[in-house]
Structure 1
Amino acid sequence: MTVVGNHTREPDLRAALAAVEEGLVEATRSDVPFISEAARHLARPGGRRLRPLLVLLAARFGDPDAPGVVPAAVVVELTHLATRYHDDVRHEAKPSVAVLIGDFLFARASRLLAGLGPRAVRLQADAFKRLVSGQILETTGPRDGHDPVAHHLRTLAARTGALTAVSGRLGAVTSGATEEIADTLAVYGERLGVARHLAAELRTPVQGAPTLPVLLSGDPTAPALTEARHEVLRQCAAAHAALTPLPAGPARTALADLCDAVAEAT
């Protein structure tokens, strides 16, 4: 299992991440073999479980062993995987299959959410609304006369940042952490999510996709790449600064290390 950073070395965190993997296996099980295989394709161990990791680290500001923490981590990863299937609609020869598998994962996430209580359901629903809004913004593009770079950053804050933000918030809420800590972790998560996506655009640009370097100059030239890297570093710095109100300790250090890892890889 490859998770961002080296924070899985701690035995209790390793155990929690293993429980998340077990939860994903259970959630992707179906009486229909095709559904099980298709749903597990993206859920197989080996991916970067950033969102579950954020839930588990956020829970350390409350009770990390609270019963809702691991299910919350499974929920955010299922939601992430479902959105990846829906993204595949544009590329698959049989888009209806991708949509249906994504819907299956959303249904399993909803079932788990129901056990976490009304507040968790509302938080996830709000995050999903933002995520869908971001996908619509990406599809429609900026309106005439609007800055395409500002539009792109706004799109990423919704499309990508919403799910990393709610990961931090759900970890805090399910562990019984304070509302102030939950708010702080949501701000941090959104900034980190945007930074990671922008960094990915620099490393592996998608053909035809509106990436930041292209939007800055019309072509990924050296000056545009440099300016895009500066934006990644600005987002990392904002995420790092958001952690200031949190109590010092291993959890805050781990979250700060995630920011540094993105910055150093840019």
Structure 2
Amino acid sequence: MSHLASPATFIGADAQLATDISTQLEAVERRLYEVTEQTRKLPDTASKHLLAAGGKRARPNLLLLTARLGDAHCEAIIDAAVAVELIHLASLYHDDVMDDAPVRRGAPAAHEVWGNSVAILTGDLLFSKASGVTAKLGPDAVRVQADTFERLVLGQLNEFAGAPEGADPIEHYIQVLADKTGSLIATSAQFGVMFSGADQALAEPVRLFGERVGIAFQLADDIIDLTTTSAMSGKTPGTDLRERVPTLPVLYVRAAAAEGDESAAEVVRLLDADLTSDAALEAARAALAAHPVTIRARDEASRWAEAAKAALDPVPEGLVKESLFAFADSVVSRTA
């Protein structure tokens, strides 16, 4: 459990709240291992591969925090936290296959260990486990999960297809992020209210907070892909560039080049080169990271974090709201 993010990173000075959430996260962790248990060695080992590699558990953290708008100490809250983390873990197995990413959380990606077929099937297995846990929470939870799963898949499909002809590529990209990243973070925040007996009028504000903070989270992740080392992030730097993912810095630099910015045009030339070799990838990564468009993209991530905070206007003042604000701030200030 040493890989869990400390709740204190976004709860601030309230040591008791941080301790309470840490205790619940330990229960979530135990339940994750129980739910993913398999009798055969291959599915059992593959299912636990990324779970054992650790991770920040950001989605359970957020769910356990919003649950404190009601009664957070109930079985349904633990189950809800397990469900959202299983969905997230499942999506990572699929993402790594699509991205051909060799490393995840500092460990070899599952497809590097067992091949694409096992990695994809393991992701499917974890999705099925998440559905079983969610079913215990009732039909409303199943409906929300189904909608979330649809958005996760559509986000990936729309990213793959690219912006339709005549569409604004930046607006298209933000919608992709809202679907493939924001939707599950939104559901995590929403589930905390739904199953804690909190005022259900707060479900939509925290859901909107989660979606917006998810966009900020992914925009920050795009920048981390450019500016950190593998040792810091647990992922290979520049993977998005090699896979030709049109992240916000890339979209910004292409737009600047189209408007006649010569420095941007030079970056675009490097981006459009053959990035198979590590040297070519590093040259493109370093050039884009050093260009002002990356600062502009970081500012956009901060803007979405502020928009997330604004969504919380209906939430009562207090420690939970303050902690959600700190959560939004931590998303864009992180370096890994």
The corresponding residue for 2:235 is none
| Structure 1 residue 14 corresponds to structure 2 residue 22 | yes
| CA–CA separation in structure 1 for the residues paired with 2:159 and 2:67 | 32
User: How much has 1:4 moved relative to structure 2?
Assistant: 5.9
| CA–CA separation in structure 2 for the residues paired with 1:264 and 1:49 | 17
User: How much has 1:252 moved relative to structure 2?
Assistant: 1.3
| CA–CA separation in structure 2 for the residues paired with 1:45 and 1:75 | 18
Please tell me the root mean square deviation across aligned C-alpha atoms, in Å: 1.7
Pick from 237, 248, 259 the counterpart of residue 212 of structure 1. 248
Structure 2 letter corresponding to 1:225: T
The corresponding residue for 1:196 is 217
Pick from 307, 320, 323 the counterpart of residue 238 of structure 1. 307
The corresponding residue for 2:74 is 66
Residues 1-266 of structure 1 mapped to structure 2, 5 A cutoff: 1-3=3-5, 6=8, 7=11, 9=15, 10-44=18-52, 46-90=54-98, 91=100, 92=111, 94-205=115-226, 206-207=240-241, 208-218=244-254, 219=267, 220=288, 222-265=291-334
User: Identical aligned pairs, as a percentage?
Assistant: 42
The unaligned stretches of length 5 or more in structure 2 are 101-110, 227-239, 255-266, 268-287
Of structures 1 and 2, the larger Rg is shown by 2
TM-score by length of 2: 0.75
| CA–CA separation in structure 2 for the residues paired with 1:187 and 1:4 | 24
Structure 1 letter corresponding to 2:82: V
Q: Deviations over 1:9-37 (max 9, x none)?
A: 53321111111101111111101111111
TM-score by length of 1: 0.95
Structure 2 letter corresponding to 1:228: A
Structure 1 letter corresponding to 2:84: V
Does the Cα contact within 8 Å between 2:68 and 2:196 map onto a contact in 1? yes
User: How much has 1:212 moved relative to structure 2?
Assistant: 0.5
| CA–CA separation in structure 2 for the residues paired with 1:12 and 1:236 | 26
Does the Cα contact within 8 Å between 1:131 and 1:162 map onto a contact in 2? yes
Does the Cα contact within 8 Å between 2:189 and 2:207 map onto a contact in 1? yes
The corresponding residue for 2:257 is none
The farther-off stretch of 197-206 and 135-144 is 197-206
Q: Deviations over 1:218-242 (max 9, x none)?
A: 2436221122112101101001111
The unaligned stretches of length 5 or more in structure 1 are none
| CA–CA separation in structure 1 for the residues paired with 2:39 and 2:332 | 44
Q: Deviations over 1:42-79 (max 9, x none)?
A: 11263111100111011111110122001000000000
